[in-house]
A and B are shown apart, each in its own frame.
Chain A
Amino acid sequence: MEIAKKMKLPIYLDYSATTPADSRVAEKMAACMTIDGDFGNPASRSHVFGWKSDELVNEARKHVAALINADPKEIVWTSGATESDNLAIKGAAHFYQRKGKHIITCKTEHKAVLDTCRQLEREGFDVTYLDPEENGLIELAKLKSVMRKDTVLVSIMHVNNEIGVIQDIAAIGKLCRSRGVIFHVDAAQSAGKVEIDLANLDVDLMSFSAHKIYGPKGIGALYVQRKPRVRIEAQMHGGGHERGMRSGTLAVHQIVGMGEAFRIAKEEMAEENAHILVLRNRLWEGLKGMEEVYLNGDIEHHVAGNLNVSFNFVEGESLIMALKDIAVSSGSACTSASLEPSYVLRAIGRNDELAHSSIRFSIGRFTTEEEIDYTIQLVKNKVAKLRDLSPLWEMYQDGIDLNSVQWAAH
């Protein structure tokens, strides 16, 4: 009961959006800022300030590489996964464009990948956007069937940020490698949560972010495979940092923070995943008995911390308003900048109503059982309250098929 008393509201259940930095991470970062700390520029070769910072950067590089079983020389620092995606996709497309100008990706990718592909289309590249199956996964045969002689690049995410499904990047990688096609993976949502063994995966380029795994915002990395060697054209030009692939003075405190976050993840991942999975299952067990509730995304191939649920006949933004004691996100149009319902849920075949009615719960390192139990009760009460307000729920209860109604569109 002591713990229940300590429960702080609102409860943070949006770990897929970002995570708080681990206090061990923040401590290490703070030591790289001031005159008393290691504030030097790692590119300064002429004095100890630079040498010390360079050392810290290399140590962080080792930690990042260790989590994903890569060589530290294969890690390029960036400002985050969005920049990594841009650098990987534009960089590879530009470098290999004499070989061909066809790129394959998937409709449920993050906007950092989709919008980068759109830009390449404007530059004259041809992009195929694959439809995933209803469970959110990509059918390998479908990918194979859209591959062409001029296909140079495939970009598929590891774990989806909205519905949490895990793609089979081992199989996709093998297929790409057999065709001599570069394979890029956005791993922003999977590093530290799903085992990644790049020494044994046919992945050429992989994007990472620090703030999704208890590191700071504003820092990420791109894995660029050395054997066989993958080439990319730089997108940021300047002092030739990061072996010319990404210029700009290294943000030592950010890098040290990311290194520490990845080190902790490697050490604690197995235990943490087990804890998170118990909580996720507890949440779903608590919600799934409700009427007209739908789980989005394949539950077998699913990252532990994600639960995406549609509460039919309740609109997502109003539900989020009612759930102000918990911090979650929704696929509802009203909560998005674009005023469109979730394109991910639509791509897996959910209709607009279910997309509008979806809530993403994401659980993490600091979530407790008490918080999950509180959430279950709160969601049940508020969904019931909003359904009492919902004309659609009333019609459903009266046995009216909503698809047969002539709606006055506006």
Chain B
Amino acid sequence: MAYSEKLMDHYENPRNVGSLDKKDASVGTGMVGAPACGDVMKLQIKVGDDGVIEDARFKTYGCGSAIASSSLLTEWVKGKTLEEASEIKNSQIADELALPPVKVHCSVLAEDAIKAAIDDFKSKQSAESAA
């Protein structure tokens, strides 16, 4: 399969690989996908007091498109507010990386991952304020 230069660049030099402390109250973790389906994405965000995403990290098991989609997403969410980040659409990722049609689900997974990370962060916050 022929992939775009941008995709190959993100695949070969993935940005923001790694993990943040899952237990940290300012960190939200989203893990989506399943090993049996051939892709699992873990996306983490660290949110400042001002509600802006200061840092993002990912780890992905999956094809090159899945790795590139998550790498790109970590670049995009940094510096965005939670609301802005939650508005990122899978189609923007698919367009940016010129994903072939059979790989569009990889960008869907990335959108799910950021939503899951934001949800996780929010539920942690509400649990903390309740305590």
Residues on A facing B (Cβ under 8 Å): 313-315, 317-318, 321, 332-334, 339, 341, 351-353, 356, 388-394, 402, 407-410
What sequence of 0s and 1s flags, for each residue 1-35 of chain B, a beta carbon within 8 Å of any chain A beta carbon? 00100000001001001010000000000011111
The answer to the question of B42 belonging to the interface, with a C-beta cut-off of 8 Å to chain A, is yes
Residues of A within 8 Å of B61, CB to CB, are 313-315, 389-393
Known: A389-B17, A391-B42. A402 touches B35 (CB 8 A): yes
Tell me the count of chain B residues lying within 8 A, CB to CB, of chain A: 31
What sequence of 0s and 1s flags, for each residue 97-124 of chain B, a beta carbon within 8 Å of any chain A beta carbon? 0000010010011001000100000000
Give the distance in Å from the alpha carbon of A242 to the alpha carbon of B41 in the complex. 57
The contact sample of 27 A-B pairs, CB cut-off 8 A, is: A313-B61, A315-B62, A315-B66, A318-B62, A318-B67, A321-B3, A334-B38, A334-B63, A339-B102, A341-B38, A352-B37, A353-B36, A389-B60, A390-B59, A391-B31, A391-B60, A391-B61, A392-B35, A393-B61, A407-B34, A407-B36, A407-B40, A408-B32, A409-B36, A410-B33, A410-B105, A410-B108
A318 & B105 in contact (Cβ 8 Å cutoff): no
**What is the minimal beta-carbon distance from A408 to any residue of chain B, in angstroms?**
5
- Given A389-B59, A393-B61, A410-B112, output 6 extra A-B contacts at Cβ < 8 Å: A315-B66, A333-B38, A389-B14, A389-B67, A390-B61, A410-B32
Taking CB as reference atom, which chain A residue is nearest B14?
A389
The answer to the question of B39 belonging to the interface, with a C-beta cut-off of 8 Å to chain A, is yes
Known: A389-B59, A391-B31, A392-B61. A409 touches B37 (CB 8 A): yes
The answer to the question of B79 belonging to the interface, with a C-beta cut-off of 8 Å to chain A, is no
Interface centre among B62, B102, B116 (most CB of A within 10 A): B62
Give the number of residue pairs across the A-B interface with Cβ within 8 Å. Answer: 83
Residues of A within 8 Å of B66, CB to CB, are 315, 318
A410 & B34 in contact (Cβ 8 Å cutoff): yes
Give the distance in Å from the alpha carbon of A410 to the alpha carbon of B106 in the complex. 11
B59 & A315 in contact (Cβ 8 Å cutoff): no
B35 & A318 in contact (Cβ 8 Å cutoff): no
B36 & A351 in contact (Cβ 8 Å cutoff): yes
Known: A333-B38, A408-B32, A410-B112. A318 touches B59 (CB 8 A): no
Give the distance in Å from the alpha carbon of A313 to the alpha carbon of B41 in the complex. 12
Within 8 Å by CB of A315, from B3, B17, B38, B116, lies B38
- Interface residue ranges of B51-73 to A (CB < 8 Å): 59-64, 66-67
Taking CB as reference atom, which chain B residue is nearest A332?
B38
Residues of B within 8 Å of A352, CB to CB, are 35-38
A332 & B34 in contact (Cβ 8 Å cutoff): no
Taking CB as reference atom, which chain B residue is nearest A388?
B17
**What is the minimal beta-carbon distance from A312 to any residue of chain B, in angstroms?**
10
A391 & B40 in contact (Cβ 8 Å cutoff): yes
B59 & A394 in contact (Cβ 8 Å cutoff): yes
A390 & B60 in contact (Cβ 8 Å cutoff): yes
Known: A339-B102, A352-B38, A388-B17. A318 touches B32 (CB 8 A): no
Interface centre among A334, A353, A356, A393 (most CB of B within 10 A): A334
The 9 tightest CB contacts between A and B, nearest first, are: A407-B34, A352-B36, A391-B42, A317-B63, A391-B59, A334-B63, A390-B61, A321-B64, A353-B35
Known: A334-B63, A410-B109. A356 touches B38 (CB 8 A): yes
Taking CB as reference atom, which chain A residue is nearest B103?
A334
Taking CB as reference atom, which chain A residue is nearest B116?
A408
Interface centre among A351, A393, A408 (most CB of B within 10 A): A408
Taking CB as reference atom, which chain B residue is nearest A334?
B63
Residues of A within 8 Å of B39, CB to CB, are 315
Residues of A within 8 Å of B3, CB to CB, are 321
Residues of A within 8 Å of B17, CB to CB, are 388-389
**What is the minimal beta-carbon distance from A324 to any residue of chain B, in angstroms?**
10
Give the distance in Å from the alpha carbon of A408 to the alpha carbon of B62 in the complex. 15
Within 8 Å by CB of A318, from B42, B63, B102, lies B63
Residues of B within 8 Å of A356, CB to CB, are 35, 38
Taking CB as reference atom, which chain B residue is nearest A314?
B61
Residues of B within 8 Å of A409, CB to CB, are 34, 36-37
Interface centre among B3, B61, B116 (most CB of A within 10 A): B61
**What is the minimal beta-carbon distance from B120 to any residue of chain A, in angstroms?**
12
**What is the minimal beta-carbon distance from A383 to any residue of chain B, in angstroms?**
12
Interface centre among A391, A394, A407 (most CB of B within 10 A): A391
